Structure 1
Amino acid sequence: MTAEHTDPGAVVVVGGGHGGGTLVGLLRQLGHAAPVTLVGHEADAPYHRPPLSKKFHGDELEQPLKPAPFYAEQDIALRLGAEVVAIDRDARTVRLDDGSELAYGTLVLATGAAPRRLEVPGADLAGVLSLRTLDDARALRDGLRPGRRLVIVGGGYVGLEVAAVARSQGLEVTVLEREDRVLARVASPELSSILGAHHERHGTVVETGADVASFAGDEHGAVRAVVLADGREVPCDVALVGVGAVPRDDLARAAGLACEGGILVDAETRTADPAILAIGDVTRRPLGGAGELVRMESIPSATEQAKQAAHVIVGRDVPAADVPWFWSDQFDLKLKIAGLLRGDRPAVVRGDPASGRFTLFHLDGDVVRAVESANAPAEFMAGKKLIQRGDRVDVARLADVDVKLKDVVLSVPEPAASA
């Protein structure tokens, strides 16, 4: 089948996650009148992703991004349960897995990331799960009946969120982390220590330096234990594997777009092809002020890029980039993290971690570069502003909770001169 001639303003969005789902709505909000089509490989229309790990056990799991009538009312075509298998950049068409084609004026790749597989024996046993989609969360919810035992392989934020929810429901939970601390790739050593201890106080068994060798199954082909490299078995009824995610950039690579740990884009979501943009978890984009290319797996990042892409498509000035940030819920701790963490930066602790309300400021000299906070929304917002402006601060006073954060600023950088 061949694609019909289309409006040169037609937009095809590949991917129905937060980025793609947000983008199509923004295009109509900004007055884009040409055809808009969203192609999603899941059967569900775009939905909120945080409940997958934070509320998978209850009725709040399924939260659509938009009410069901929205897409028809806004004349947005949905092609759900469909996969784009090829891009013809010369003809400006995409081919779907059913053989049909769609023509585009602008193509937006919002293909996200896929769970990284743990390539060990037994990884395909029933009850060995990953968590990336609504179907994954449904399977996790159905598997975690009262009295069952959960082992989580990987001590990242999502795995720890699931652990917190499962412990709150009274399940036995063990977290196995290969590194010497949880959150080794994404949090400071200080926050890792605080959260690991917080989980243990709530009954989560946390084992670091635990290398998984295989999954052992029962006579019915279901997982019964996680086997460690030292030969020990950790019994379980469900094993959740959360060892990171890989960008779904195969489609872009096959089309000849530059990819290196994700699709490479500029600060306004453009690829090297002027007709193709890319947004969300699949991209690597400039962040941190020095042009460093970073792949961010966060909803704020995906929605920010959706706004950028929408403004590019309608020909408006692109909004200035925000400080990268994300959030996580760990039992009673509402965490918010901003900036780019570096392991060699000293941390100033403001507040008492034992109280459950604190902020960690990570410094480059006397300039704040990253903030990790718990139950301290005002300090988090103030910290974001310090990062955004690059203010110099009085490091000694920064730790004093009796000093307002606005009073720790020593100087504000001069704005860059216009060319």
Structure 2
Amino acid sequence: MSEKGIVIVGASHGGVQLAASLREKGYEGPLTMLTSEPDLPYQKPPLSKGYIKDPDPKPTPLRPEKFYTDRSIDLRLGATASAIDLSGGEVQLADGAAIPCSKIALVVGSRPRRIPIPNIDAPGVLELRTYQDSQAIKAGFNAASSVLVIGGGFIGLEIAATAAVLGKQVTVLEAEGRLMARAVSPAVSAYFLNYLGGLGADIRLNARVSGIRLSDNGLAAGADLADGSVIDADCVISGTGVLPCTELAEAAGLAIENGISVGPTMLTSVPEVASIGDCASYMHWQVGRRVRLESVQNAVDQAKTAAAALLGDAEPYHEVPWFWSDQADAKLQIAGLSDGTETAALRGDPETGSFSAFLFADGKLRCVESVNKAGDHALGRRLLAVDAGLTPEQAADPDFDLRALVKRARS
């Protein structure tokens, strides 16, 4: 592709940071950013919480409109990319237009996954990805006294906690034997099971949904379970994970492996194309396999690496991943990845509502999960960054000085 500018497909946290980083690094060429949504790029974490609860919510812009105009960023709202023509050097739009470019960044994110059961696509089965989705859920809550949430992961539980705080009768159906099983340790799962139960939510584990129940007018009205039981509800939420949006990349012939496959500097199998965020998978330095991380922090940090890579001057991406989930008044913060960990050391008492689980693999710290303990989370990120040599015994000792250990490791 000849030099025609850069097109960023996707305008969430990662896309906006990528555009900002390109300008900060001195790129002065044409820069276009596409989003199929009608609003200025906005904060996504409040989708499952504040945007649903607030009486008159408005999406909170990541940057004001002036940010884009001042930096000559051609932000196109309501513009959907339909194809990438690598040989012709352009991104084609659904409306028939085409944008010439020499480099492309795919920041296309993920879409909600729906389990393959009867009536899962029926009217009234709600899911969450966009601001418009959150407002559909808000309207559903306003008209409902009972809410059914299918899925006990982060998004499902955040929505369930929001519904419980709003006074709804809430049922959560989780197919696994514990909540957030793929993401957190058993101790943290157990804490949130008790916490959400205390809010009044009916949490059912090992609950496999066999179909969506319909009302007489064809709207979702609950679920049938594989064990023969029935749940009736006025509002049904599907929160069973996400799938990476890889269609554009696949059609263009880019390598796909658990998402759009990228190398250590976020470039795809075609070096003129980068990809970051929920849609991209990369070889993680800690767990030794490809991972696809669904977090704001990951997308923002990868954007900085990708911007440098597109301009020919990047260091490999090597950031400690971190995540968070706000469920009513309980804040879960995670540093690192729990894959393959076999030893957990608790620091603090879950009964008090403030504790951390330090997770180890082969004697090395791999992950720190903190509930209402922001100080441990901050230290956990620093411990993982410097490989400080913390032992499970030290982690479990409330008198052991974690801050001093970090300082010694850095020196």
CA contact (8 A) 1:398 1:408 kept: no
In structure 2, the partner of 1:11 is 6
CA contact (8 A) 1:226 1:235 kept: yes
In structure 1, the partner of 2:337 is 340
Distance 2:152 2:289 in 1: 26
Distance 2:111 2:363 in 1: 39
C-alpha distance 321-362 of structure 1, shift in aligned 2 (>3 A): same
- 1:57 and 2:53 aligned: yes
1:35 to 9, 27, 30: 30
- 1:380 and 2:364 aligned: no
In structure 2, the partner of 1:250 is 247
In structure 2, the partner of 1:297 is 294
- How many pairs does the alignment contain? 409
| Cα offsets for 1:358-393 (capped at 9, x unmatched) | 110001243211010012122111111221222212
My pick for the range that moved more, 273-282 or 143-152, is 143-152
Q: CA shift at 1:299, angstroms?
A: 0.7
The TM-score, its normalising length taken from structure 2, stands at: 0.94
Q: What is the correspondence of 1:251-290 to structure 2 with a 5 Å cutoff?
A: 251-289=248-286
Q: CA shift at 1:413, angstroms?
A: 9.8
Distance 1:210 1:280 in 2: 31
In structure 1, the partner of 2:43 is 48
Q: What is the correspondence of 1:298-377 to structure 2 with a 5 Å cutoff?
A: 298-318=295-315, 321-342=318-339, 344-377=341-374
My pick for the range that moved more, 58-67 or 222-231, is 58-67
CA contact (8 A) 1:51 1:60 kept: no
My pick for the range that moved more, 122-131 or 368-377, is 122-131
Distance 2:204 2:240 in 1: 15
SS in 2 for 1:180: coil
Structure 1 unmatched runs, 5+: 1-5, 415-419
In structure 2, the partner of 1:167 is 164
- 1:112 and 2:112 aligned: no
CA contact (8 A) 1:40 1:80 kept: yes
My pick for the range that moved more, 298-307 or 67-76, is 67-76
CA contact (8 A) 1:125 1:223 kept: yes
Q: CA shift at 1:330, angstroms?
A: 1.7
Structure 2 unmatched runs, 5+: none
Q: Identity of paired residues, percent?
A: 38
CA contact (8 A) 2:214 2:221 kept: yes
Q: What letter matches 2:121 in structure 1?
A: D
Q: What letter matches 2:79 in structure 1?
A: A
Distance 1:188 1:179 in 2: 13
Q: CA shift at 1:234, angstroms?
A: 0.8
In structure 2, the partner of 1:235 is 232
CA contact (8 A) 1:277 1:309 kept: yes
Distance 1:61 1:216 in 2: 33
CA contact (8 A) 1:7 1:34 kept: no
Distance 2:94 2:129 in 1: 22
Distance 1:372 1:223 in 2: 36
Q: What letter matches 1:313 in structure 2?
A: L
CA contact (8 A) 1:394 1:410 kept: no
Distance 1:78 1:214 in 2: 42
Distance 1:271 1:354 in 2: 47
Distance 1:28 1:241 in 2: 39
SS in 2 for 1:231: coil
Distance 1:344 1:74 in 2: 45
Q: CA shift at 1:116, angstroms?
A: 0.6
| Cα offsets for 1:17-66 (capped at 9, x unmatched) | 22112212222233321111111122222111000012122145511111
My pick for the range that moved more, 124-133 or 56-65, is 56-65
C-alpha distance 394-178 of structure 1, shift in aligned 2 (>3 A): closer
